[in-house]
Structure 1
Amino acid sequence: MRICKNRKASSIYILIFLTAFTLLIDRELQASDSKGVFLTSYTEKHQKAFHMLIPKGWKDEGGMISSGIQWNVVDLVENNIRFRVSSPDGKSFFGWYPRFYFQDPQSFSRSSGGILQPQIGQVLNGCWVYPFLNVAEYVQYIVFGQLAGNEFQNPRIIGNVVHAPELKPFVPQIATRYDYGYVNFECRINGTPMTGRIYSINYDIQGQIWSTVGTFGWVAPQSRRGHDERLMEICIRSFRLNPVWIARAAAAAQQRARQYHQVIQDMQRIDREISRNRAQTKSDIQEEFYKVITEQIETYDSTTGSKQYLPMYNHAYTDGQGNYFLRDYDDGTVPFENASEWRKLKIVNRNE
């Protein structure tokens, strides 16, 4: 399956990127500060996947772990990351957001012949349904709107995307469309005015699936941006993956991709069944609407298996000879001498 093959190739790019992206930060940045900084060596706790410098006394959370979102298929196919380091007072922090796979809603429409019309933000096959987003759009709709929606208050991007040329080498060669760079932004957290920066590298594969190589950055109170920005960029630059873990993770990712190939085939079969059911449901809704506007009921004779449209009443009876009796209230009897020859018809509601 081409998508799975491309996912394996892209996962290797992710590993390469995580090893080397630390060269992206401003090359003029120096690890010194007029007040002095105290950095300590840190090793990722869950898999010993990476090591880096963090400010002494700052608190780490997460690591090379799953996104924590059950439907996120990246957690099944690749190693994901969800990591943050926070200052002692919790106001400044830097880290990495987890990765996701996305699919353009138009790809579902094309592949299903127009039957599937998923809504933006919906989840199908473990992928988020969104059209390809550039860096600014990704930060606005995914980071601000989803991942940090409960944390950042009134976030606002400042200026345009900075297309840092150092990021371009990390765009996968298989990408048919991409965007890279960072945005600066302002927001409030618990009432405190904050400033921050988010980097992202987004790439698309033949209009079928798109993702990010990485999304990471930092946030600090505006009152101490100068010092904390410098400190956090130093730490981000020091990030290094464990080579032993890289080899192990790459092999595991390929194995999981093969397993996912079977899973996705099963999910697609389910989707086709859902599509057929949706088409039938749409037809049933239209049929019920037709009955309402024409003031008719649809009846079913369990004895003969036949259906008949009749004027709209709450109860209907037949003698099986082409005769029908209709009324709104049912007292359990019919006003005929040959009452035993009459039987009640079921009124069909296709929306039930």
Structure 2
Amino acid sequence: MTTRIQILVCVTILGTIVPAYAGMFSRLRGDKPAAAAQPEEQAKDSNEAAMLQFQRQWEPKEHAYSFLVPAGWTIEGGMFHVDPTQANGTGNSIDGKCDLAVKKDAAGTVMLRWLPVWNYCDMSQNQQFSLSAGFFPVGSRYQGMEVRPMPDYGTFLRQLFQTLHPSATDVNVVELRPIPELGEVFGKINKAIDDYLRSTGSRPLRYDAGGLTVEYTENGTRFREGLVTCLMDMRYAAALWSNQHTLLMRAPVAQARQWKPVLDIVRQSVKLNPEWFARASKAGAQRAQMSLETQRYIQSVDQQIVEHRNQTNAEIRYEDYLMLTGQEDYVNPYTKEVERDTSEYKYRWTTEQGDMIYTNEYGFDPNKKRELNHQEWKLTPVRER
């Protein structure tokens, strides 16, 4: 059981860095349009969107994965590890964690942030621990985990927002929506775990996924922010639960639509480093192979969700969070691999190193630009249907 739980925790790392479904900046149904940007703001955004240059950069701490970063933006944070001797237990020390922000400026006025997965202890559903529950009140620590009753995703995200923005004022919850498809994705990824739990008479894992869109004022700026998470319930089998796939994206309300494609490009560009995964894995090559298979699976998640919706004729209830629209399949001219990316720009250029340029300008060629032609650029064509 221990080995399988370790594998499960290993998979949860992917949930913190996988490309997310958080297109929260579009106007949601029933929401009033955001205030129009001032002319100078519109001109600035228009100029910035004319040609967007991204550099592929490594997660700075351990090179665990790479992702695209807009030129001039900064990266803050990265992988970290919890010392079990300081945490009074190993519940959050089995594998590394990630807290990383990609920011337009030091204040994070426009920002995407991947938040770490934390394991929490809740003994209420586990018969083995029920007699001991009274010795560990809410807020105490058990085996390195905070004792905390499992909430629903909405309560978790509201509490998370309050923790991240204690000085926020004029807070308005724009929308709170479930994402059952995200839970289904994790269910497929962890099918082997569920099969094992059923074989031992335990209940399978349960998921509660959703997103929260909030508008608020902080330091004189009115922001729109989207938060997404998938809570994984393992209370019956192991007296714990965790927050998988937790991230946030934000921008000033008046500029949210303009920055949305940029943040989408960043979040969709993550590529795991299998060499790092092999080093971090206690099972070595076998776990590295698992990471590659899981990575390939995750890369097809958006398509699977789309197909699921088409097959069931389901309502597109969550397009502002899931970003199922505004994407296209491109063929990388160097690797010949199919890459899913935003369709907001007509032309997509790449280098062998994975840097990107997006533009709508007809006839633009970075190979003819002195400041860009120190490396070769090639157009990435749309995949033939």
Relative to 1, partners in 2 of residues 1:81 and 1:114: Cα closer, same or farther, differing over 3 Å?
closer
Amino acid at match of 1:22: P
Task: Please tell me whether the aligned partners of residues 158 and 186 of structure 1 are also in contact (alpha carbons under 8 angstroms).
Answer: yes
| Displacement after TM superposition at 1:68 (Å) | 9.3
Q: Offset of 1:200 from its aligned partner? A: 0.9
Residue in 1 that maps onto 2:240: 209
Aligned-partner SS, 2:151: coil
Out of 18, 34, 37, the position equivalent to 2:52 is 37
Using a 3 Å threshold, how does the CA distance of structure 1 residues 17 and 159 change in structure 2: closer, same or farther? closer
Distance in 2 (alpha carbons) for counterparts of 1:238 and 1:245: 18
Aligned residue in 2 for 1:106? 124
**Alignment TM-score, normalising by the size of structure 2:** 0.55
Write out aligned runs for 1:208-287 (5 A).
208-251=239-282
For 2:151 and 2:169, locate their aligned partners in 1 and report how far apart those are by CA, in whole Å: 22
Q: Could you tell me how far 1:57 is from its partner in structure 2?
A: 0.8
Relative distance call for 1:176 and 1:233 in structure 2 (3 A) is: same
Matched ranges for 1:115-264 at <5 A: 116-141=134-159, 143-146=160-163, 148-150=164-166, 152-153=168-169, 155-163=171-179, 165=181, 168-171=184-187, 172-173=190-191, 174=194, 175-207=204-236, 208-251=239-282
In the aligned structure 1, how far is the partner of 2:134 from the partner of 2:218? Answer: 39
Q: CA deviation at 1:139?
A: 0.8
One-letter amino acid of the structure 1 residue matched with residue 6 of structure 2? K
* 2:6 aligned to which of 4, 8, 21: 8
Query: Larger RCO: Structure 1 or Structure 2 (Cα < 8 Å, ≥ 6 residues apart)?
Result: 2
The alignment partner of 2:66 has SS state of: strand
What amino acid sits opposite 2:184 in the alignment?
A: K
Question: What is the CA-CA distance between 1:12 and the residue it aligns to?
Answer: 3.1
Distance 1:244 1:218 in 2: 29
Aligned residue in 1 for 2:342: none
- What's the secondary structure of 2:50's corresponding residue? coil
Structure 1 residues 177 and 52: alpha-carbon distance in aligned structure 2, compared to 1, 3 A threshold: same
Q: Matched residue of 1:81: which SS?
A: strand
2:50 & 2:180 partners in 1: Cα distance?
A: 29
Larger Rg: 1
Deviation at 1:217, TM superposition (A): 1.9
CA spacing shift, 1:130–1:212, aligned 2, 3 Å: same
The equivalent of 2:368 in structure 1 is none
CA distance in 1, matches of 2:64, 2:233: 27
**1:68-117 alpha-carbon deviations (Å, 9 max, x no partner):** 99538455211100111111252111111122111225358972636725
What is the alpha-carbon distance in structure 1 between the residues aligned to residue 61 and residue 250 of structure 2? 25
Contact 1:105 1:120 in 2 (8 A): no
What is the match of residue 83 of structure 1? 100
User: How much does 1:220 deviate?
Assistant: 1.2
Which residue identity is paired with 1:57? G
User: Closer, same or farther in 2 for the Cα pair 1:39/1:121, shift >3 Å?
Assistant: same
Matched position secondary structure for 2:51: coil
Amino acid at match of 1:13: V
Separation in 1, partners of 2:74, 2:7: 34
Partner of 1:301: none
Structure 2 regions of 5+ residues with no counterpart?
27-45, 195-203, 285-385
Identity of aligned residues (%): 19
Quick one: distance in 1 between partners of 2:116 and 2:229?
A: 12
Kindly report the root-mean-square deviation, in angstroms, between the aligned alpha carbons of the 2 structures.
Answer: 3.3
Displacement of 1:40 = 1.5
SS at match of 1:22: coil
Q: Does the CA contact (< 8 Å) of 1:60 and 1:83 recur in 2?
A: yes
Residues 57 and 34 (structure 1), Cα distance of their counterparts in 2 relative to 1, 3 Å cut = closer
Mapped partners of 1:188, 1:105: distance in 2: 38
Tell me, yes or no, if the aligned pair for 1:83 and 1:97 is still in contact at 8 Å. Answer: yes
8 Å CA contact 1:108–1:117 kept in 2: the answer is no
Aligned to 2:110: 92
Change over 3 Å in CA distance of 1:135–1:154 after alignment to 2: farther
Contact 1:13-1:170 within 8 A present in 2 as well: no
CA shift at 1:24, angstroms? Answer: 4.3
Q: Which amino acid aligns with 1:103?
A: C
State the distance in 2 between where 1:80 and 1:246 align. 13
